[in-house]
Structures are given as structure tokens and as C-alpha cells.
Amino acid sequence: MTENTPRYTEDEIRSLDWKEHIRLRPGMYIGKLGDGTAADDGIYVLVKEIIDNSIDEHVMGNGKKIEVKVEEHRVTVRDFGRGIPLGKVIDCVSKINTGGKYDSRAFQKSVGLNGVGTKAVNALSQYFCVQSFRDGRTKKAEFCRGELKEDLTEFDAKENNGTLTIFEPDDSIFKNYKFVNDYLREQIKNYTYLNAGLTINYNGENYSSKRGLLDLLEHKVNPETMLYPVVHAKGTDVEIAFSHTDSYGEDYYSFVNGQYTTQGGTHLQAFREAMVKTIREFYKKEFDASDIRGSITAAVSVRVQEPVFESQTKTKLGSADMGPDGPSIKAGILEFVKKQVDDYLHKNPATADALLKKILQNERERKDMAGVQKIAKERAKRANLHNKKLRDCRVHLPDEKNEKRFETTLFITEGDSASGSITKSRNPDLQAVFSLRGKPLNCYGLKKKVVYENEEFNLLQHALDIEESVDNLRYNKVVLATDADVDGMHIRLLMMTFFLQFFPDLVRNRHLYILQTPLFRVRNKKETFYCYNDEERQRAIKKLGGKPEITRFKGLGEISPEEFARFIGSDIRLEPVVLSADSSIEKVLSYYMGKNTPERQEFIIDNLVIEKDITDEDDEPAETEETAAA
């Protein structure tokens, strides 16, 4: 054994207890960590794990109301189910593989089957409290990072049966995190769509649904963009809803036992195949699958006994069967879709005509693009061998065995100057850079053919690998990194238009971000502050006192690589591009990127902001500007 070979003896073998393992490898239990800026960040998984238990109680017929309160960093969830058996309260939240869901008689078709979720929340919280109310008695326990801190003896209580859970995510693990209200509200609404008769009170506002997935689709999609009314069918274990819109791509919402499976799985694949087979048989024509599913927006929900997911975060279903003695998921969904959709189309000829018209339109567009696509693909293949616009990274989102794949990022920059600074300071394992040449084309109102005809757009779609589907996306975060001036803002809007027009799923699935970089550097000989707005600049000036040097950064290329490394490292500030459920992409793009209407001119005039420097003139420090600062 050489001197540099690490020791490997009995002394190097360690046995971790449950909480140590969760805290050492949190990604195994909750996926990525994040800071709350993305909808799938770990703090939302913690909330989900607690609410899932309450949902399971409701599904079993216990409790019609759940109360959820989120304030700053504290989450409170109170259900009115049966309550955890008092003698097992501590075990159920602190002993791995302990729970009532191993017995199928107690929890049929539950989502939480491994006895892990609540324990993970406990271990990853700096404060965790659980209290069970059961038949006039209550039991309470408090923990810190999985360690039991207070074990109160049982005592009498007048409150209704149920469980109260309070937790605060550990800020040493979830650094600089904050809850985004829109993400939590969508999470709550999804629960109500899938559980008729359930009311969830979120921060004082009640949410409920009577029509299930029909309500979900009408909430997610602007009715004006639908080409025909939502087709909705609900059975014992399968529920579907779908319509076609005027946008590009396929948009799906899939659920298993009330769990939102963001990455789909066997049930979604079965639904997609069943739709193609059913539509072909109804019209008695072998349409191309992409023509049938193009522009579809659909939701599918299944109830499966003892589901198998591909990870603890339960975002992708792996089960092949509906239950131990049930049919396969593929056969069960095919039979349901074939009967329900075929019946509906026969009874509603206007919908059948509108659907056929859309399929034929998709077919014409596909054939129209075929020639252009072929030329563009050959051009892209040649360019990809020496793609000067793309400086790629080593890890990519589809690398399922790499736990860092969710950290993969593509920065889209303007010009060689900005891309040079980012390239020199980036993490080459996880961060890639794509450089634009000047202002891109305004895509609003154009056909998708332009993506292939425009060399830059074609190279970008190939770099992202989203030509066929956003499911193939190579980077988890696509970040627009433009200068903080008028030109930079314009380029940012043009790129947002590109994605919204042709790849809306990339935005809907929360992959698009805007990079926030500091506008000012305020420093003296001892300290340096980087300020992202004028308020931070004022605070920095007051803190340093005297007359510090102030630098106004106009362009990203003016920030040195050494400094830039600070802004795209662990303290990176990203602003997600969020498309609210009630927003129509067509209306948004028409208003902001269409013809210059009087309404838009009025909006600009009404929202003009005049910035005034509030620093006292006597104390005004010297301000410098980098090379090309305005």
C-alpha cells in the first residue's frame, strides 16, 4: 500500500443513526436542497411530506379539513383525522421505518408507504413539534435536528381529534431560503383538485374543489385558448381531463394517490399511448402520434395500491400494476380512456370536429417544417462539432445517477465580453454558457419554422436538446444573464418571448430564470460591499462612513472573473420566471411584444420611475464607472 492510498480498515467503517444519515445525504430523501426559488426545492418537499400524511387520513375517510399556515420560516399543519396513537407519537416521527402504512388494511392506496417522510422533516428541521389529539387526550413532543428535546406526558384536551405538526427548516442546510407563496398555493390547490370534499385553509383562505381535474385544467389553462371544452371523465381509480390549445408542445399534470408526479412515470406514459390509440381508432386513420398530442393539455390521476416510485421524493411512478391482484397500469388506463373518450366524441360531434381540425393543422405544420428541419439539423450537427456559442459543462440534467444534476445551469449571455467573464469564473462541471450575438429576433406571432431558419435559435434549441420535448432538457436551470441597461432588458424580453412562444413548458415547469447581478460596488481600503439596488448601496455607504469608492457596473463584461465567481456561486441570486395559472401566453405576448398600442403606451407612462439619489450632497462619495459604464 502506497503512502497516498487512503486507509481502509475496521476503523473507517461507520454506522450512522437515522438522523445522521438523513442530514449527511439529504438529497436521497428530499431531492435537491435549493433556497426556495424553484418549486421543487427541498423546503417544499418538507411541507409536502407533512401534508401527505393528512391527505392519507382524509382519503381513508377521516377529516374533511386541513389547516396550513406558513409565516416566515415556520410551517404549521393541523389535520382533523384520527390522530397518531398517543403511545407511538415519538416513534412515528423519529424511528425510521415506523408507521401505520405498512398495514394495507389501515391505509389503502396511500402515497406515504416507507415510513421515511416525517422523519426526514424532523431531521432537517431546527425546530420540530408534533402533537396528537385523540379521544380527549393529547401527547406532545419537541425536537431539534432530530434530537428529542421535550417529551411531555399525556394530558387531557378538549380539541378535536387530529395531528398538529410545526417545523422550521434548518437554515444551516437550506441556506438563505424563503417560501414563495405562489408555489405553496399551487401545491395546496393540487391537493384539493384530487380530493373531493376536502377543504384546505391556507393562511386564512379556504381552497376546495367539486369537479376535480376539470377544475384543475380550467385553473391552469386560460379557457380562451382552449379549442374545445375540457373532456373530463372520472372512474373509481382513474380520472382524466384534456383539451387542445393554440400553444406548442404537450403539457401534462399527472398524479398518483394524490401525489403530483412532476416527472410522470408509467401512468403518464400509458395515458399518452392510450390517447393516440383511441383517437386513431375513432377517426379510423393512422395519424402521427405527434400530430394527435401536439398542443394537448391534460391531467391524469390514478389510485394505485402499494405504489412504487423511482425515488423517495415520489416524483416519478415506477409501478407496473394497479395493485397486487389488479390489472397492469397500461391496460387499466387504456381500457378507461378508450371507453370514456370514444363515448364522449360520439356524443359531442362539435368537439370531435374541433379535435380533428387541430390534428390536421398539426400535420400540415409538421410537413411544412420537414424540409427546413432537415437542413437545420445538418447545419446544427456540423456546428455542434465546434459550437463556438456553447461552452458546455460535464454534468447534465438527464444524468440520473449524478446527485448534482439538479444544479446544472445554462447561462445565456449577450456578446463575447459577458460570456468571457462567466466562462472564466463558472464551475465547469455544472455551469454551461451560450453566447448570443446582439439582439435576437422578436418571435411573437411567428411560426415554429423560424426556430430552424434562424441559426442562433437552432443552435440554442440543440444545446438545450428541447427540439422533440422539454423532457430532454439538458440543464435544470436556463438563466438569462444580460446587462442591467435598456439593451440588456430588451434582450431579456426577446428571449423570454422565444421560450414562451415555442417552448412554454420550459417556463411552466419553472426552468427559466433571470440572473441578478450587483449594480454597485461600494468599498474602502478595508471592506467591499456588492449592492443589487440603490437601497443596499445607501446602507453600504452609511456602514463604511467617510467617502468610499462607488463603482457602477453597467455591463456583465465589466465585472472581473474573480468578482463574477461570487455572483454565480453558492450565493447566486436568481429570479424565477413564473407564469401564473390565470395568465394567457397569447395575451401576455400580444400586450408586451405585439404592436405598440395606446394601452401599452399608457401603461409605460403610468409606470415610469424616476430615480433620485437620496444621499446628502455634502456626504456624496466619489463614484466611478467601469470601462463602458453609462
Domain match, 27 and 157 both: yes
Domain match, 427 and 337 both: no
Residue that finishes a domain, picked among 163, 181, 207: 207
Q: What is the CATH number of the domain that holds 232?
A: 3.30.230.10
Pairing of strands 296-302, 162-169: unpaired
Domain match, 217 and 202 both: no
Domain match, 472 and 567 both: yes
7, exposed or middle or buried, with CB in 10 Å at 0-12, 13-18, 19+? Answer: exposed
Which residues does residue 141 pair with via DSSP β-bridges, in sequence order? 130, 151
The Cα–Cα gap between 259 and 262 comes to 9
Structural domain contains residue 273: yes
pLDDT at res. 289: 92
For residue 267, give the nearest of 303, 225, 242 by alpha carbon. Answer: 303
pLDDT at res. 133: 95
pLDDT at res. 281: 95
Structural domain contains residue 429: yes
Domain match, 32 and 91 both: yes
pLDDT at res. 335: 94
Q: What is the CATH number of the domain that holds 513?
A: 3.40.50.670
pLDDT tens digits for 296-309? 999 999 988 878 87
For 315, the domain range is 213-361
Domain match, 217 and 272 both: yes
Structural domain contains residue 1: no
Distances (CA, A) of 222 to 284, 354, 491, 586: 31, 17, 27, 10
Distances (CA, A) of 215 to 150, 184, 239, 299: 44, 18, 12, 11
pLDDT tens digits for 316-325? 888 888 877 7
Structural domain contains residue 201: yes
Helices and strands, counts by H and E, the chain:
20, 23
DSSP run (H or E) holding 497: helix 486-502
Structural domain contains residue 543: no
Structural domain contains residue 613: no
pLDDT at res. 376: 62
Structural domain contains residue 105: yes
Domain match, 335 and 446 both: no
Positions in the chain short of pLDDT 70: 1-6, 8-15, 97-115, 311-314, 371, 373-388, 417-418, 580-584, 609-630
pLDDT at res. 617: 45
Domain match, 470 and 416 both: yes
Residue that finishes a domain, picked among 207, 239, 259: 207
Domain count, the chain: 3
Domain match, 89 and 134 both: yes
SS (H, E, C) 85-107: CHHHHHHHHHCCCCCCCCCCCCC
Structural domain contains residue 457: yes
Domain match, 60 and 76 both: yes
Domain match, 314 and 436 both: no
Q: What is the CATH number of the domain that holds 121?
A: 3.30.565.10
72, exposed or middle or buried, with CB in 10 Å at 0-12, 13-18, 19+? Answer: exposed
Residue that finishes a domain, picked among 207, 225, 243: 207
Domain match, 72 and 161 both: yes
